[in-house]
Structure 1
Amino acid sequence: MSNIIKLLPDAVANQIAAGEVIQRPASALKELLENAVDAGATEIDVLIKDAGKTLIQVTDNGCGMSAVDIRMCFERHATSKIQKAEDLFAIHTLGFRGEAMASIAAVAHVEAKSRPHDAELGTCLRIEGSKVISQEPCPCKAGTTIAVKNLFFNVPARRNFLKSDQAETRHIMEEFHRVALIRPDIAFSLTHNNKLIYKLPRSSEKSRIVGIFGKAYDQRLLPVEQKTDLLSIKGFIVKPQFAKRTRGEQYFFVNHRFIKHSYLNHAVTNAFSELLPADTFPSYFIHLEVDPADIDVNIHPTKTEVNFKDARYVYAVLHAAVKKSIGMHNLTPTIDFDMDPEINTALGMPAGEKVTPPSVHYNPDYNPFEQKSSGQPATPHAFKKEHQQWEQIFQPDIPAENPEETQTELPGMAGPQAETFFQVHKKFIVCNVKSGLMLIDQNRAHQRILYEFFLEQLQGQKPASQQQLFPQDFHFSAGDISILKELRTELEQLGFMWESFGTNRIVVKGIPENFDSSKTGETLERIIEDFKKESGKPGRDIHIRMARTMATQLAIRYGTILNNEQMADLFNKLFLCQLPEQAPDGSKTLSIIPMEKLEQFLKG
């Protein structure tokens, strides 16, 4: 029997390793950035072309490498970070496995130039698919420049599985954020297709967050800080009213390493209990410092997962720190007994005015057991007056001379019997129909109306846009700007006219007709968040998603007082819709309580 187990060639082994470590262009950028940080760089420049498929280049002013080191760094399991197994529990650097550079070289054309600060000449090394093409001395700046070209050139199946340029660019932005956020002491720049996206000088932690995500975050951040003998926590949380519908802006760092940890995420989310709107997630930028011996970072090839020696202790301290920050800034909810503001007149009492206690009038001679000659109990005069008013309210409907002129027949039911609608708890609209009582959810009904309107706009109807006398200026992260650019055609169909200025700024010059301009920024943020949430899911029509987002954002809120004319207009427009019975999310917009049910209620 011949032997069937054979040792894999190095080139094949490297490609297999690359499948675990280098999944997309953003994965290669992550490894190059971490190496630049570990090299002690104070300036790091990133150059990207075609979403990283053509070129990923990282230049740093770190310590540089000698001719021997630059050759060794592309060998598997070659590293300067650890010497023995015990060093795995004393890691202070980002990289340590010695797999990343070999994996990159296995699936790309790599050109590396490096020079130590004390050397006159550097070294230029070229590798293609793990094969060394050339190595020679060259003049270059102190530090290291590594260019990764034609990624996955020899693995076409992997290249075909890459997403669109816009999607891959967003992944690149995310990896850039993860490194730049935690190292504000390093200056970063990012250029994509010869256009400068970020130019981040050395700054404070808060300034770095604002520099990446926009000026709006300057007023949204709350500091978090807690220090114990075993753990140090420092960072920022975002005020709950700015919670996102996706988990995008949630950043945990342990010893300057970005991590994903669902258990710690629960600690933060739980601290925000009763403060977050429904279906939203808190945003945070939190850095934890622990003894390297108390964590294990060697559990995943991408190094984004760690194990804590005492995760419960970290959870408790983190939860308390976030709670403390929320409490210090008076964000905890107050007790609310649903007091109607219209009757809470004490809040509007003028200064100096005395409060007059209410007077109680009663008849001292009144005897409820006293019988009149008719044999009936005596009735107070006040009750007689109220009884007369109730009789007036419940007068029976007076039929019209021509009933057909006052009623509109609708499929399956009749229209209101009178031009009167009632609003219940500022949430429901109630009106009479032939079969009983119709109950309409004002928010869901308006969502259905707006959804069909915006869907028509997106599917080719001429857009209606009103020009802004004073254009509005908004700041977004570079990744969010790329989403807006991807959705430009649809946004213009809705009526949003805008131009981009700089790396993360847009100016809105036109908005949809009859649109509240004060909601422009909030609506654009919601569109971006919904796009992130739904991206990658098959069978999701972009027009349907955007129409639903616009309808949800702009529909009449619960608690809005409507007059009879507004309720009648909502009713009429609802039954002009193609599907008046359902909101865009599939929930019911209305319900009819039949007369039989009403009679049962009265019978008990």
Structure 2
Amino acid sequence: MSDIIQLLPDHVANQIAAGEVVQRPASVVKELLENAIDAGATEIKLILKEAGKTLVQVIDNGKGMSVTDARLSFERHATSKIRSAEDLFQLNTKGFRGEALASIAAIAHVELKTKQEADELGTQIVIEGSTVKSQDVVVTPKGTSVAVKNLFFNIPARRNFLKSNTVELRHVTDEFHRVALAHPSIGFSMFHNGSELFSLNSSNYRQRVVNIFGTKTNEKLVPVEETTEVLKVSGFVGKPEFSKKTKTEQFFFVNDRFVKSPYLNHAINAAFEGLLKDGYHPSYFLNLTVDPKTIDINIHPTKTEIKFDDEHTLYAILRSSVKHSLGQFNIAPVLDFESDANLDTPYDYKDKSGKTPTITVDRSFNPFKNDFQQVKTHSRTGNQLKTQAHWESLYVGLESKSNASPIDFSEVTYESDTKTESIFKSNEVTQEKTTYQLRQKYIVSTIKSGMLIIDQNRAHQRILYENLLKQLTSKEATTQQLLFPLNISFSTSDTTIVKQLQPDLEFAGFEFSEVKEDQVIITGVPVGVPESEVSIVFEQLISDVENDVPDQNFSASDLLAKSMAKSLAIKTGQTLNAEEQEHILNSLFACKEPSVSPTNKTTFITLGVDDIEKKFM
């Protein structure tokens, strides 16, 4: 029998490795930005075209590479950060496995330009699908420029799986935020299709957070500082009143590397316990510094998940640090049973000594001496006789009860209100209640075949969705003007999403007076949308865009109708009277697709009489 196991060619192995490292344009952005940081750059520029599908270019002013290093950088497992296996447990850099450039070059057209400060000329290398097309000497400034063009050009199946430009740009922006937040001392800029999206100068951490998420963020931040032998925590958490329904403003950085940790996220939620409304999430931007020997970074291909040696200790320290900061800045209520604020020394008297009060007493003073004589004299005057005469006159003309004749109650008449009939006579019989609300979540009704159970939230979503979609397609939505304009603050990336959806939002009934970089001014809302719900509608809409909902198969109108229906629908736990229950029941079965919600979930079920009888067998 012939041998069937064989070694893969290098270009095939590189494509397989690329499947782990490069999933979308955002993956390329992450790897190239991290390489630029490791090169010691102080200014990094990111240039995109079509959300990175056509071009991802990163230009830095780092130390650059020699001719040999430039060529070796595209080989698999070629890295400058690792010399021995022990170095894997003392990592202080970003990329270390040496697969990034090799994987990217296997599935794209790559052009590299690099020059060291001591060299007069630089090196240019052009690679297409792991094949080196050219290597020349070129005039270029100090640093490195890597241009990745036509991503997945040789893997059309992977390219077809990419989402729309809006979604892919959102993923790229998220990666840009993570790298920029981890390194506030480095200047970053980002361009998309020729327009500048971000220009971040070198600054401190607080300014970097404000520059990315908008000027309104500054008033939301609460500083967190704690240093222990195991862990150093620094950064900010958001005030509870500014919490969001999305998790877009949650960042953990461990040794300047962005990580995702559900366990540590639970520690933050525990610190905010009792301060957040249901369904809302806290914002946090926290830097954790630990000994590199106590963590394992290389457990996930994207290196966003790491393993800690002692998670329980980190959990306790992080929870206590955040809770202490919330209490220190009077965000959370603090109970102190040992001190009384009423007994605190006023500020003006804190340096003064106490004085013993002096009391003078007139020992000959008798306050009752004169009053006692006047009362005694007054009681002996004719006033007493007048009082007796007054009381005796009350009985004049009264007869004894024994001489009075008994009262005949049969002749007594009682005064009563006149009974008037209704102006409009009605022979209608009051109908019995036909619906019942179960646990403030389901509406139960009887039908000929048995019983009908409706999920009130999903049913109302279906009703609102079809009404909104009809308004959006016919462009006949009615707008209700606001007495005072409504200002809603957004981050720069969120404002970009609102700008893209602005025409459809206007068809839905919203009216904008101005859309700034970090603020949206609304002067009109659709009829039936409360002013207090507008910010929730926009948060949900942005969240849906971020979570890959608007794929190529979805229109913006459909997305908007689904998102608004989800935000405005009756929630579980809301009590409905009989009339409201009847209205939902009738409106649901007037819809085109009453059986499913806009997200294709069942809205109602039926229990036949036979099914009920089987339960009693």
Q: Secondary structure at the match of 1:137?
A: strand
Choose the corresponding residue for 1:524, options 538, 554, 557: 538
The residue identity in structure 1 corresponding to 2:264 is L
Paired positions, count: 499
Choose the corresponding residue for 1:483, options 497, 500, 508: 497
The residue identity in structure 2 corresponding to 1:182 is A
Q: What is the CA-CA distance between 1:511 and the residue it aligns to? A: 2.9
Q: Does residue 557 of structure 2 align to residue 535 of structure 1?
A: no
Larger radius of gyration: 2
String of CA shifts for 1:228-255, please: whole Å, max 9, x gaps: 0121001111122222223222111100
The residue identity in structure 2 corresponding to 1:96 is F
**Separation in structure 1 between the aligned mates of residue 469 and residue 433 of structure 2, nearest angstrom:** 24
The residue identity in structure 2 corresponding to 1:134 is S
Any conservation in 1 of the 2:213–2:492 contact (CA below 8 Å)? yes
Any conservation in 2 of the 1:166–1:482 contact (CA below 8 Å)? no
The residue identity in structure 1 corresponding to 2:250 is Q
Partner in structure 2 of residue 2 of structure 1? 2
Partner in structure 2 of residue 244 of structure 1? 244
Any conservation in 2 of the 1:466–1:511 contact (CA below 8 Å)? yes
Any conservation in 2 of the 1:245–1:533 contact (CA below 8 Å)? no
**Separation in structure 2 between the aligned mates of residue 238 and residue 449 of structure 1, nearest angstrom:** 36
The alignment's C-alpha RMSD in Å is 4.1
Give the stretch that moved more between structures: 108-117 or 540-549: 540-549
Any conservation in 2 of the 1:448–1:574 contact (CA below 8 Å)? no
Unmatched 5+ stretches in structure 1: 336-391, 414-426, 428-441, 560-566, 589-604
**Separation in structure 1 between the aligned mates of residue 161 and residue 481 of structure 2, nearest angstrom:** 42
Partner in structure 1 of residue 361 of structure 2? none
Q: What is the CA-CA distance between 1:574 and the residue it aligns to? A: 6.8
The residue identity in structure 1 corresponding to 2:125 is L
**Separation in structure 1 between the aligned mates of residue 602 and residue 221 of structure 2, nearest angstrom:** 36
Partner in structure 1 of residue 563 of structure 2? 546
1:119-518 counterparts in 2 under 5 A?
119-332=119-332, 400=422, 403-404=425-426, 454=468, 456-460=470-474, 462-466=476-480, 473-498=487-512, 503-513=517-527, 517=531
Q: Secondary structure at the match of 1:196?
A: strand
Any conservation in 2 of the 1:170–1:479 contact (CA below 8 Å)? yes
**Separation in structure 2 between the aligned mates of residue 451 and residue 399 of structure 1, nearest angstrom:** 46
Q: What is the CA-CA distance between 1:23 and the residue it aligns to? A: 0.7
Q: Secondary structure at the match of 1:219?
A: helix
CA pair 203-474 structure 1, distance change in 2 beyond 3 A:
farther
Q: What is the CA-CA distance between 1:291 and the residue it aligns to? A: 1.0
CA pair 412-539 structure 1, distance change in 2 beyond 3 A:
farther
1:571-590 counterparts in 2 under 5 A?
577-578=587-588
Q: What is the CA-CA distance between 1:450 and the residue it aligns to? A: 6.8
Taking only the aligned residue pairs, the percentage that are identical comes to 48
Q: What is the CA-CA distance between 1:323 and the residue it aligns to? A: 1.1
Any conservation in 2 of the 1:21–1:302 contact (CA below 8 Å)? yes
CA pair 317-490 structure 1, distance change in 2 beyond 3 A:
same
String of CA shifts for 1:380-430, please: whole Å, max 9, x gaps: xxxxxxxxxxxx9xx9x99747552888879958xxxxxxxxxxxxx9xxx
Partner in structure 2 of residue 52 of structure 1? 52
Partner in structure 2 of residue 599 of structure 1? none
Any conservation in 1 of the 2:164–2:551 contact (CA below 8 Å)? no
Q: What is the CA-CA distance between 1:72 and the residue it aligns to? A: 0.9
**Separation in structure 1 between the aligned mates of residue 2 and residue 459 of structure 2, nearest angstrom:** 75
Q: Secondary structure at the match of 1:528?
A: helix
**Separation in structure 2 between the aligned mates of residue 83 and residue 284 of structure 1, nearest angstrom:** 36
CA pair 185-47 structure 1, distance change in 2 beyond 3 A:
same
Q: What is the CA-CA distance between 1:537 and the residue it aligns to? A: 9.5
**Separation in structure 2 between the aligned mates of residue 326 and residue 114 of structure 1, nearest angstrom:** 48
String of CA shifts for 1:454-506, please: whole Å, max 9, x gaps: 45533535022255687555442343234324433431222123377565444
The residue identity in structure 2 corresponding to 1:279 is G
String of CA shifts for 1:167-187, please: whole Å, max 9, x gaps: 111111111111011111111
The residue identity in structure 2 corresponding to 1:250 is Q
Partner in structure 1 of residue 451 of structure 2? none
Any conservation in 2 of the 1:450–1:550 contact (CA below 8 Å)? no
**Separation in structure 2 between the aligned mates of residue 316 and residue 183 of structure 1, nearest angstrom:** 27
Any conservation in 2 of the 1:58–1:145 contact (CA below 8 Å)? yes
TM score, norm. by length of structure 1 = 0.73
Q: Secondary structure at the match of 2:426?
A: helix
**Separation in structure 1 between the aligned mates of residue 460 and residue 8 of structure 2, nearest angstrom:** 64
The residue identity in structure 1 corresponding to 2:150 is N
**Separation in structure 2 between the aligned mates of residue 448 and residue 27 of structure 1, nearest angstrom:** 37
Unmatched 5+ stretches in structure 2: 336-415, 441-455, 604-617
**Separation in structure 1 between the aligned mates of residue 31 and residue 94 of structure 2, nearest angstrom:** 9
Partner in structure 2 of residue 341 of structure 1? none
Any conservation in 1 of the 2:167–2:550 contact (CA below 8 Å)? no
Q: What is the CA-CA distance between 1:207 and the residue it aligns to? A: 1.5
Give the stretch that moved more between structures: 494-503 or 154-163: 494-503
Partner in structure 1 of residue 338 of structure 2? none
Any conservation in 2 of the 1:443–1:558 contact (CA below 8 Å)? no
The residue identity in structure 2 corresponding to 1:227 is T
Q: What is the CA-CA distance between 1:221 and the residue it aligns to? A: 1.4
**Separation in structure 1 between the aligned mates of residue 323 and residue 457 of structure 2, nearest angstrom:** 33
Any conservation in 2 of the 1:451–1:551 contact (CA below 8 Å)? no
Q: Secondary structure at the match of 2:112?
A: strand
Q: Does residue 17 of structure 2 align to residue 17 of structure 1?
A: yes
